[in-house]
Structure 1
Amino acid sequence: MQRFGTLSFGHYGPIGAGRELSAADSLLQAIELAEGMDELGVNGAYFRVHHFARQQASPMPLLAAIAARTSRIEVGTGVIDLRYENPLYLAEEAAAVDLISGGRLALGVSRGSPESVVRGYEAFGYTGSTDPRGADLARAKFSRFLDAIDGVGLAEADPSSPLGGGEGRQRIEPHSPGLRSRVWWGAGNRDTAEWAGRVGVNLMSSTLLTEDRGMPFDELQAEQIAAFRASWREAGHAGEPRVSVSRSVFPITTAEDELYFGGRDGRDQVGVIDGIRSTFGKTYADAPDRLVEQLLQDAAVQSADTLMLTIPSQLGVEFNLRIVRAFAEHVAPALGWRPNRER
């Protein structure tokens, strides 16, 4: 494990005992937490994106704010739902954030997670999908997005324009060289992982896999990662792609930790989501030395270079920073991690 960061769902709303976390609270606390993690040398702050829900839905302003307030930490998404996106506008926004951050954007995109509404992307004006989950829209938009960030000319210049339109086909602006190497595809099964390898983008292996073959989640995920890397090599892409996995990992070091996380089941779960039988990874909650033993036995964690810790962001900055610090000090070094001190 070379890198680790946090994956936040950005929940807000009622949090119990008559308290409520507002959207503003959620955003501002995310910035403050990222600043604290940057000082610790944590590698990344990543955010889930959900529409029609009390969670992060428009991540680019948040990522830009974090990038402007930090100097080392990677800022990213896990993942943006392409069904809802204009691919060229997304390319402009992504390039701007990448430039503001000095090349620290890790842009995770995909078809997106299961929704709380029915075909919500159609309310955004994106219709015509023949797939019940809109996967065809996402793939088509991804191709267009990659062309845009690669600098392909997409619109013919108007030589008579008073704005100096130039000649030939023009690329979108701004353009951020190298952004393509920082794009990830969120894959929920082996087929999509192999497809990402052929396309030549990094892999974010999902928190759930739309497969159930009677195998432990980590072994199933490790197979997916191996298939992705094999597909990358067979396609002839240069270099080594990055691979991330996410886990719920809670070092129990205080009575409060025990209160929140003690007694967890600690087993994989199988259920039906989006009409597909799927496998969900287990939660790790234990003393730090026991966590080290368990994570060293997790085949997918050992296969990936980046571990994203899902955090209970609604519990506040102080609580989450303590979880992250405990992992950084007592667990991560035994997995091969070293703090990021490069600015």
Structure 2
Amino acid sequence: MQRFGTLSFGHYGPLGGGRELTAQDSMLQAIDLAQGMDDLGADGIYFRVHHFARQQSSPMPLLAAIAARTERIEMGTGVIDMRYENPLYLAEEAAAVDLISGGRLALGVSRGSPESVVRGYEAFGYPSEDPRGADVAREHFDRFLRAIEGEGMAERDPNSPFGGGRGLQRVEPHSPGLRSRVWWGAGSRDTAEWAGRVGVNLMSSTLLTEDAGMPFDELQAEQIDLFRAAWADAGHAGTPRTSVSRSIFPIVTQQDALYFGRPEGEGVGYIDGGRATFGRTYAAEPDVLVEQLKQDAALASADTLMLTIPSQLGVEYNLHVVETFAKHVAPALGWTGTRA
């Protein structure tokens, strides 16, 4: 494990006891958390994107604000649902954030996860013949990649008073290194292989949309192996990055034990119309956690770990989780605290 950061689902709404976390609270706390994590030396902060839900839905303004308040930490998404995106507008926004941050954007995209509405992407103006919109996601992703690579996307007007000329014009702004910082959130071995062939980095979550009759971490490790093999077979240069997300809570205080003293095991269920394998929650004293995590095959294979955090519990508590993990667990997993 070379890097670790946090993955926030960004939930907001009623907290019980008459308390409420508003959308504004959620975003401002995310910025404060990023600044605190930057000071602690964590490597990244990433946000889940969900439309029509009380979660983050428009990540680019949030990431731009984080870029302006931090110096070193990587910021990104895990993941943006490409079914909803205008690919050229996303290319412009992503390039702008990447330039503002000095190349610290890690843009995770994918087909998206199950929604709280029916075919919500069609309400955004993107009809699909596929029941889950996979055709729209792949079409948008292909066009987005071509745009951030600098390919011309619209015919220049030779009579324009604003430059004109002939040929095709790329979208602006353009960030030359952004293409290497795009990730695909793969939910299966097949999509992981596809991402390797395309030549983008791999994000693998605490949920895989298949059941192969093996433990979750082994299934995920196989997914990573297939991705890397596909990358090599396609002849892509360099070494791709791979990340996994885990729910990991070192228990060092009574408050930790109160919140997470009964961790959940992994299991198999049904989601999005098919069988799926869910990862477990790790929660124990640091020395016990280290021994458990050393047995996690996917965590041993990936270079980046994303800790799913309870963002509703506030900045102070989440910084406590991050700092405890950084001090008492991460070094034993190979983390040196030196940002790669």
Do Structure 1 and Structure 2 share a fold, with TM-score over 0.5? yes
Gaps of 5+ in 2: none
Which residue is equivalent to 2:56? 56
Match of 2:28 in 1: 28
**Residues 341 and 264 of structure 1: is their aligned pair in 2 closer, same or farther, counting only changes over 3 Å?**
closer
Q: Secondary structure at the match of 2:5?
A: strand
> What corresponds to 1:40 in structure 2?
40
| Offset of residue 166 of structure 1 | 2.7
Distance 2:338 2:72 in 1: 7
Give distance in 2, aligned partners of 1:18 and 1:269: 34
- 1:220 maps to 219
Classify the secondary structure of the residue corresponding to 2:292.
helix
Alpha-carbon contact 1:72-1:340 (below 8 Å) kept: no
Q: Secondary structure at the match of 2:164?
A: coil
TM-score under structure 1 normalisation? 0.98
| Aligned counterparts of 1:282 and 1:340: Cα–Cα separation in 2 | 28
Q: How does 1:313-324 map to 2 (within 5 A)?
A: 313-324=311-322
Matches within 5 A, 1:107-186: 107-127=107-127, 129-186=128-185
Alpha-carbon contact 1:247-1:308 (below 8 Å) kept: yes
Task: State how far apart, in whole Å, the 1-side matches of 2:273 and 2:99 are.
Answer: 40
Tell me, which stretches of 5 or more residues in structure 1 are unaligned? Answer: none
Matches within 5 A, 1:235-246: 235-246=234-245
Distance in 1 between residues matched to 2:226 and 2:257, nearest whole Å? 38
Residue 331 of structure 2 corresponds to residue 333 of structure 1: yes
The one-letter amino acid paired with 1:138 is A
The residue number in structure 2 matching 1:75 is 75
2:276 partner SS:
strand
- Alignment partners' CA distance in 1, 2:45 and 2:316: 16
Report SS of the residue matched to 2:42. coil
Corresponding residue for 1:257?
A: 256
Which residue number in structure 2 is paired with residue 289 of structure 1?
Answer: 287
Q: Judging changes above 3 Å, is the alpha-carbon distance between structure 1 residues 188 and 341 closer, same or farther for their aligned structure 2 residues? A: closer
Displacement after TM superposition at 1:16 (Å): 1.5
Number of equivalenced pairs: 340
- Kept after mapping to 1: 8 A contact 2:155/2:168: yes
Contact 1:42 1:340 in 2 (8 A): no
- Secondary structure of the residue aligned to 1:152 is coil
State the Cα distance separating 1:17 from its structure 2 match.
1.6
Is 1:268 the counterpart of 2:292? The answer is no
TM-score (norm 2): 0.99
The question of whether the paired residues in 2 share the 8 Å contact of 1:189 and 1:211 is answered with yes
**Distance in 1 between residues matched to 2:253 and 2:320, nearest whole Å:** 10
Query: Could you list the runs of 4 or more consecutive aligned residues of structure 1 that deviate by over 3 angstroms after TM superposition?
Result: none
| Counterpart residue number, 1:311 | 309
CA distance in 2, matches of 1:341, 1:222: 24
Alignment of 1:80-99 (within 5 A): 80-99=80-99
In structure 2, the partner of 1:196 is: 195
For residues 301 and 254 of structure 2, the distance between their equivalents in structure 1, rounded to whole angstroms, comes to: 33
Partner Cα separation in structure 1 for residue 56 and residue 164 of structure 2: 37
- TM-aligned CA deviation for residue 341 of structure 1: 5.9
Equivalents in 2 of 1:213, 1:205: separation in Å?
Answer: 16
What is the CA RMSD across the aligned residues, in angstroms? 0.9
Q: Is the 8 A contact 1:249 1:310 kept in 2?
A: yes
Task: Return the letter of the residue paired with 1:289.
Answer: D
Partner of 1:122, secondary structure, is: helix
Query: What SS does the corresponding residue of 1:176 show, helix, strand or coil?
Result: coil
